[in-house]
């Protein structure tokens, strides 16, 4: 009886091979393995291995695929309903749809969404799948260190399985899903191989139509898949892998964008998740702006959603206990629920004494303002640098001091550098910093220190400097300008050759800020330093200052 059941069970594999739509080459391999299986005793260890392999072969989506929705208006509505702004990515998706409409055989694009945490990179992949009426699958690559995670193990190993790509394709059940490779910048590598190198074949449109997994040992077509990788930074992605992807940068959000996202998405979502109705609680613009400005400081909206949830939970307790409360929240109630204000604009305070300049930094988490602090004391002509600075930033500091020393007459100062030690500090000391864009802020801090002229508290700056006094362009302009806007800065000094980056800065931010483009250090000093000294600079005087980070 058992043998007959086993025979009919193996016969079903033949039907599944025919129904799977696999290529003739793969079907030939499958039938060969089926013939081997028929000759094995069901009690043998090899039998289970062989059967598992056949099950993987027949259950993969060799020909099954979903039909794309090629209605551009409908796709645009879906994308706009799920995410506010992000026009670059939406434009790219609609372009792909338009091309698919005109050329149905077009291969799927391979995109890499780069941006700080909490801006919606992963959820955007889900939204893209919904707009195209495709299935969605996600694989997290953070901390993956083994090549076999991508390509699978050979069947000679006990407990061997295909890699994450083939596993995902089997789970999703179609050959044309939207496949999100999350945190691709956090791949590792060790003695077991480099998973980033294994991804080269997956993410190459010229090769992935014949992707070979070590476990399957037959080619699988990935060319119909839309691969979307997400990353916080491009620096840790190997150049060969980066070259295979179309990079779309998603910068941080402005205050106005956060307000719209909170009203349209975060507040309704949190109200529903906490079992309340919109009639029981409401946030006006002023209340949400208070939460955004006083309780969060981030490029994305993840902490904003957390703080909104904290407020709603406090109201949910009152509703559950039938306590009286005011449904329309105001800033006073926010302070009562969330506690004292967490973030203040410290720029004006930090620049009250000479030796101060506010710089702008780019980090994987978005832009930020940094402070360069300068002081002078009796010594032997040393330059002391602290604040966990990288080599490039240290060189910028030396170049800044050299420029100041060669322009003492022009600046109207006459310090005896041979008997002075100059100290530059860039807080916070526990955070590593590097890059050349702090050069301008360092020169301003030093000139402010030696002349006794304070730096204007509402000015921030970025730019690389040369010994000739030129201001060179730097990267991350949009993130830096948004950081200045968040911090309450009114004037931002940028290298003249960065004018081209203005197209990326939202109109609302450009209206609020005075963006000044400079070519020479002399222009920077005129625009940043107060005209009248507030103290006589000399050895032993100490000034706080401001930090810049590239």
Q: Which of 20, 437, 448, 543 is catalytic?
A: 437
Identify the three-state secondary structure at position 324. coil
Structure tokens given for 96: 């792909």
Beta-carbon contacts of 145 under 8 Å, excluding residues fewer than 6 positions away, are 187, 188, 189, 190, 192, 195
Identify the three-state secondary structure at position 109. coil
CA distance 10 to 29: 15
The beta strand positions in 155-216, using DSSP E, are 178-182, 211-212
Structure tokens given for 30: 């499958």
CA distance 146 to 188: 8
Query: Which run of H or E residues covers position 425?
Result: strand 420-425
Closest alpha carbon to 137 in 126, 127, 128: 126
**β-sheet bridge partners, residue 504:** none
Annotation says 43 is catalytic: no
Phi/psi-derived region of residue 470, left when phi > 0, alpha when psi is between -120 and 50, beta in every other case: beta
Phi/psi-derived region of residue 240, left when phi > 0, alpha when psi is between -120 and 50, beta in every other case: alpha
CA distance 452 to 538: 9
Could you tell me the CA-to-CA distances from 192 to 153, 165, 198, 445 in Å, in that order? 11, 18, 12, 49
Could you tell me the CA-to-CA distances from 332 to 258, 266, 311, 460 in Å, in that order? 21, 21, 12, 32
Q: Which of 258, 396, 480, 543 is catalytic?
A: 480
Closest alpha carbon to 336 in 285, 292, 298, 290: 290
Beta-carbon contacts of 163 under 8 Å, excluding residues fewer than 6 positions away, are 148, 149, 150, 151, 152, 198, 213, 214, 215
Closest alpha carbon to 439 in 484, 405, 394, 482: 394
Annotation says 140 is catalytic: no
- Specify the residue for token string 């391999």: 29
Return the active site residues.
437, 480
């Amino acid at each position: 009886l058992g043998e007959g059941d086993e025979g009919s069970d193996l016969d079903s594999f033949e039907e599944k091979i025919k129904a799977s739509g696999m290529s003739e080459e793969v079907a030939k391999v499958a039938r060969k393995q089926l013939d081997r299986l028929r000759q094995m005793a069901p009690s043998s260890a090899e039998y289970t291995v062989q059967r598992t392999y056949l099950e993987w072969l027949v259950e993969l989506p060799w020909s099954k695929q979903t039909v794309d929705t090629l209605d551009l208006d409908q796709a645009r509505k879906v994308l706009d309903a799920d995410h506010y702004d992000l026009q670059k990515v939406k434009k790219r998706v609609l372009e792909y749809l338009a091309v698919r409409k005109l050329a149905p055989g077009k291969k799927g694009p391979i995109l890499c969404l780069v941006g700080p945490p909490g801006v919606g990179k992963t959820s955007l992949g889900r939204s893209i799948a919904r707009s195209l009426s495709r299935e969605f699958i996600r694989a997290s690559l953070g901390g993956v260190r083994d090549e076999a995670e991508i390509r699978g193990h050979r069947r000679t190993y006990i407990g061997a399985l295909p890699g994450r790509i083939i596993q995902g394709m089997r789970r999703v059940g179609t050959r044309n899903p939207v496949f999100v490779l999350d945190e691709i910048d956090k791949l590792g590598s060790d003695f077991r191989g480099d998973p980033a190198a294994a991804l080269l074949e997956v993410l190459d449109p010229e090769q992935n139509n014949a992707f070979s997994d070590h476990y399957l040992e037959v080619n699988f077509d990935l060319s119909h898949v839309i691969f979307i990788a997400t990353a916080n930074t491009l620096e840790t992605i190997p150049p060969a892998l980066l070259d295979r992807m179309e990079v779309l940068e998603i910068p941080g959000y402005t205050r106005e964008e956060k307000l719209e996202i909170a009203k349209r998405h975060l507040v309704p979502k949190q109200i529903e998740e906490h079992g309340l109705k919109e009639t029981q609680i409401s946030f006006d613009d002023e209340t949400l702006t208070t939460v955004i400005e006083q309780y969060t400081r981030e490029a994305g909206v993840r902490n904003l959603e957390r703080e909104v949830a904290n407020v709603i939970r406090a109201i949910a307790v009152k509703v559950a206990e039938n306590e009286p409360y005011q449904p329309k929240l105001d800033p006073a109630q926010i302070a009562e629920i969330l506690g004292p204000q967490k973030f203040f604009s410290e720029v004006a305070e930090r620049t009250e004494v000479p030796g101060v300049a506010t710089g702008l930094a780019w980090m994987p988490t978005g832009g930020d303002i940094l402070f360069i602090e300068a002081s002078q004391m009796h010594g032997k002509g040393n330059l002391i640098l602290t604040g966990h600075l990288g080599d490039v930033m240290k060189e910028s500091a030396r170049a800044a001091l050299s420029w100041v020393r060669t322009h003492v007459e022009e600046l109207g100062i006459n310090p005896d550098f041979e008997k002075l030690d100059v100290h530059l500090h860039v807080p916070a000391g526990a955070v590593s910093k590097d890059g050349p864009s702090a050069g301008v802020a360092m020169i301003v801090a030093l000139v402010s220190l030696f002349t006794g002229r304070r730096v204007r508290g509402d000015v921030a700056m970025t730019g690389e400097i040369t010994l000739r006094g030129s201001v060179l362009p730097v990267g991350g302009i949009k993130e830096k300008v948004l950081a200045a806007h968040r911090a309450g800065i009114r004037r931002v000094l940028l290298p003249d050759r960065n004018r081209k980056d203005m197209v990326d800065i939202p109109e609302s931010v450009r209206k609020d800020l005075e963006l000044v483009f400079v070519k020479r250090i002399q222009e920077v000093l005129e625009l940043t330093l107060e005209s009248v000294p507030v103290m006589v600079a000399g050895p032993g005087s100490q000034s706080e200052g401001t930090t810049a980070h590239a």
